[in-house]
Each structure stands twice: as C-alpha cells, then as structure tokens.
C-alpha cells in the first residue's frame, strides 16, 4: 500500500493523467458588472465552513501520507496552508494506521499548521473490513482533525491492479460512523463526481458535507492505466483507457448535487484557477478543492506553491470585483448564464 502510494505520486508527476473531457465550467458565464460600487482592496474573501474560519475558500484536497516522500510534501503544504489560511484533507491514513512509524508523515501537518481546518481521510472499502469508530478516532487523533473524510472510489478499485471493488453495505457503515463520531463526517469522490441520488443518500444518513470531486481534472482511470501498464497488466491498462473520461463533469455534478441537498458542498476535480473557484461558489459550493496542481507546485518548492496560491487568490478576488461582490456570501448569489453541454446536463437534472 505504501509502494502503491509512491507509484501514484510518481505517475501523477510524470504522466498526463488529466481527463480529456472538461469540467464544463467553461459553460458557466458570470455576468460582468460595469458598476461594481466597491473598491478592490475592500473585498473580503474569508469564509467559514463547518464552524471553522478560512482566510480564503480553498482546500488542498486529499493526496499524500504514508510513503516516505510524503513527510516533506505534507510539511510544505502545512506551512503554506497556515500562512494563507487554507484547509487541508490528508491522504488516506490506512498506511499510518497499519504502521505507526509512518504516522508522522501525516501528523507533521498539524505540527506546522496549528490553526488550519484539517480533515482525516480513509477509503470507504476500509469500512467493510472492520474499520470502525476506534480506527476513525485513531486517524482523528493522529492529526488533531476537525472533520473525518471518507472517500468513495468504486471505479478506481475496479481498474486498480490489486484493487478491492467491494461496495455492498458501504452506506450503512457510513451511517454508523456518522452516529458514532462527534466530529463532522464529509464524503468525497476522487474524480468521477457525485450524483443527486448519491448526494441524497449521504444527506439522509447525516453526512455533514459532500465533496463532489467530479471529472475534468485528475482521472484515476488514467493513473491506474499507467500503473497497470508498468506492471504488465494489459487488461487493467485497457480498462483504464476506456474509462479515462468517465464520470459527472465537475460543474454538472455540482449543479445536480446543489439542487438535491441542503448540506454544504465542496467543489473539486479540475479546479485550476481563481475563476473556477468563483464559478464553484456561484453554483453553490462553500469551498473549492485542488489536488494535482498543488502536488506539482509543492514538489518544485514551497515558494512555488505559495506563489501559485497567491496567483489563484488574486484571480479569485479579481472575479469578485468584476461581478461586484464584496464578500464570499454574495458571490454565492451572483447571476450567471449556462450554455452548451452544461445547459443540456442541467435541463436533465
């Protein structure tokens, strides 16, 4: 499992692993305001999510932990996140639970970022293998978490060499954990999106927030395709190729999930600019999450990551000025027009 994580990181850094089909955010057109009646410097981009204050509505989505190189990556993510007031979801903590000596590759984040929103993370399939309240509490204590994230990755489990595509009974297990944990539980996808049907089930069992993680960004079919190729498994490599662009495009997933549930939503999957963040908020998200671009920058240097986020924040603030919004709350009420393929999706939801 540790070797696999290291292989995933290497593939993500070396290969083209993004979906070829877009997020469909390009079909959202925010309405320009030629009379914004505000000064750029007075724009407030702070927000709160699950009672935690963020300086900016950005989350570093779940990635690493466990593999030895994770220590340095998480150390640098933490320092930048603390400086800029950004939240972090850690990568799956399975390795840290199985090998306590690896716990510090995760816990370094809380050490270096004492004030940020930090969320624990485990895969849904673990819940079917005896992972319960006690294990969840160990994950939470490992990093001083503010929330507990469960990731759903059924398609990835099928394509992955050595994957475990067992999902029967997962929703009941999620329900049990929600009842047993005192922290909020968030459920996320890994890049294929959440539909309105799934969102409704999650809300009904008491989940506190949903991270839709739709398609248009990192494709786990692509990542597992390259890993299968390297391992000489042609059948899995072909499967990964076939499902490269599977899933609900992020903007489509966000629209249908927003219509279906009242709980907060995080938009992720292909978020690549401050404009994407602004569009996510306009469609009803509370935060926007990013994974792959963050990994690419942090492995260049900590400064490179900090400059990347400053650029994104500047873009986001510029959109807010251009649509005449002085704070994040009003950004959620801004007018927009939906065109093209996304208009077709939204008509049918």
**Tokens coding 111:** 């050490």
User: Distance (Å, rounded) from C-alpha 140 to C-alpha 226?
Assistant: 32
Which of 85/191 has CB closer to ligand FMN? 191
Closest distance between ligand FMN and the C-beta of residue 118, in Å? 14
By CB under 6 A, tell whether 63 contacts ligand FMN.
Answer: yes
The contact pattern for ligand FMN, residues 160-189, with x = CB under 6 A and - = no contact, is: ----------------------------x-
Which of 95/319 has CB closer to ligand FMN? 95
Do the strands 47-49 and 287-290 form a parallel or antiparallel pair, or are they unpaired? unpaired
**Tokens coding 48:** 């709160």
State the DSSP string of 171-199.
HHHHHHHHHH-SS-EEEE-SSS---HHHH
User: Distance (Å, rounded) from C-alpha 282 to C-alpha 53?
Assistant: 20
User: Distance (Å, rounded) from C-alpha 162 to C-alpha 185?
Assistant: 28
Do the strands 118-123 and 147-151 form a parallel or antiparallel pair, or are they unpaired? parallel
Which of 43/298 has CB closer to ligand FMN? 298
Angle between helices 104-112 and 133-143 (to 10 degrees): 50
Which of 218/297 has CB closer to ligand FMN? 218
Name the residue with the smallest CB distance to ligand FMN.
217
The contact pattern for ligand FMN, residues 65-104, with x = CB under 6 A and - = no contact, is: --------------------------xx------------
User: Distance (Å, rounded) from C-alpha 53 to C-alpha 46?
Assistant: 7
- Rounded (5°) CA angle 216-218-222: 105
- Residue 292 burial (C-beta neighbours within 10 Å; 0-12, 13-18, 19+): buried
- Counting residues that bind ligand FMN (by CB under 6 A) gives 24
Which of 85/193 has CB closer to ligand FMN? 193
By CB under 6 A, tell whether 258 contacts ligand FMN.
Answer: no
DSSP state of 86: -
Interface pick for ligand FMN out of 213, 253, 257, 280 (rule CB under 6 A): 213
The contact pattern for ligand FMN, residues 266-295, with x = CB under 6 A and - = no contact, is: --xxxx------------------xxx--x
Which of 44/104 has CB closer to ligand FMN? 104
Interface pick for ligand FMN out of 30, 45, 62, 116 (rule CB under 6 A): 62
Closest distance between ligand FMN and the C-beta of residue 210, in Å? 12
Angle between helices 70-84 and 302-323 (to 10 degrees): 40
118: left (phi over 0), alpha (psi -120 to 50) or beta: beta
Residues 313-342 that bind ligand FMN (CB under 6 A): none
By CB under 6 A, tell whether 249 contacts ligand FMN.
Answer: no
Residues within the interface to ligand FMN (CB under 6 A): 8-9, 12, 61-63, 91-92, 121, 151, 188, 190-191, 213, 217-218, 268-271, 290-292, 295
């Amino acid at each position: 499992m540790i070797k696999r994580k290291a292989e995933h990181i290497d593939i993500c850094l070396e290969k083209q692993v993004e979906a070829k089909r877009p997020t469909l955010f390009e079909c959202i057109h925010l309405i320009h305001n030629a009379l914004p009646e505000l000064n750029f410097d007075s724009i407030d981009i702070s927000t709160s999510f699950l009672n935690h204050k963020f300086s900016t509505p950005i989350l570093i989505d779940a990635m690493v932990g466990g593999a030895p190189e994770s220590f340095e990556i998480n150390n640098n993510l933490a320092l930048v996140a603390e400086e800029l007031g950004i939240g972090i979801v850690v990568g799956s903590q399975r390795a840290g639970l199985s090998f306590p000596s690896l716990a510090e590759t995760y816990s370094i984040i809380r050490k270096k970022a004492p004030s940020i929103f930090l969320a624990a993370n485990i895969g849904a399939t673990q819940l079917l293998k005896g992972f319960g309240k006690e294990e969840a509490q160990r994950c939470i204590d490992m990093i001083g978490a503010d929330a507990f994230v469960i990731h759903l990755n059924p398609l990835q489990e099928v394509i992955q060499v050595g994957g475990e595509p067992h999902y029967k009974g997962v929703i009941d297990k999620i329900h049990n954990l929600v009842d047993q944990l005192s922290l909020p539980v968030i459920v996320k996808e890994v890049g294929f999106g959440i539909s309105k049907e799934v969102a409704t089930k999650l809300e009904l069992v008491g989940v506190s927030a949903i991270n839709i993680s739709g398609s248009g960004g990192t494709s786990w079919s692509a990542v597992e395709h390259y890993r299968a190729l390297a391992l000489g498994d042609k059948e899995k490599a072909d499967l990964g190729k076939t499902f490269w662009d599977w899933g609900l495009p992020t903007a489509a997933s966000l629209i249908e999930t927003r219509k279906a549930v009242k709980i907060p939503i995080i938009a992720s999957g292909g978020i690549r600019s401050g404009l994407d963040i602004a569009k996510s908020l306009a469609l009803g998200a509370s935060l926007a999450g990013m994974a792959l671009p963050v990994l690419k920058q942090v492995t260049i240097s900590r400064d490179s990551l900090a400059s990347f986020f400053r650029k994104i924040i500047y873009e986001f603030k510029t959109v807010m000025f251009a649509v005449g919004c002085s704070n994040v709350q009003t950004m959620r009420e801004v007018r927009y027009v939906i065109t093209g393929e996304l208009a077709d999706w939204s008509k049918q939801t």
